[in-house]
Amino acid sequence: MLSKKFVISNKYGFHLRPAQVMVEKMTPFNSSVKIKRGNGTEVDAKSLLGLMSLGLKDGETVEAVIMGSDEMSAMKTLKELFSSNFGENQ
């Protein structure tokens, strides 16, 4: 199991487009990928509706928890998504 905290850095929060990018990038992995909000709410990172239900705002911290056979690759991809701000410029 791997876990890492990430900060949402988008003035619009974690809206539909970054959520869609995350789902598209995480779905091919066999590992379980969960995103936890600070209040303990946890959703599947492969679920667009789940991610949108978190209502994440700019500056919020989330924890990614990945467990499975390809967890290292999944975490690498997730780190790249957050570091590139999901391909959005601000």
Residue type, 37: R
Q: Which of 2, 6, 13, 15 is catalytic?
A: 15
Residue where the block lists tokens 């789940």: 50
- Is residue 10 within 8 A of residue 88, CB to CB? The reply is yes
Quick check: is 67 catalytic? no
d(C-alpha 57, C-alpha 10), whole Å: 8
Helix H or strand E encompassing 65: strand 61-67
Residues marked as catalytic: 15
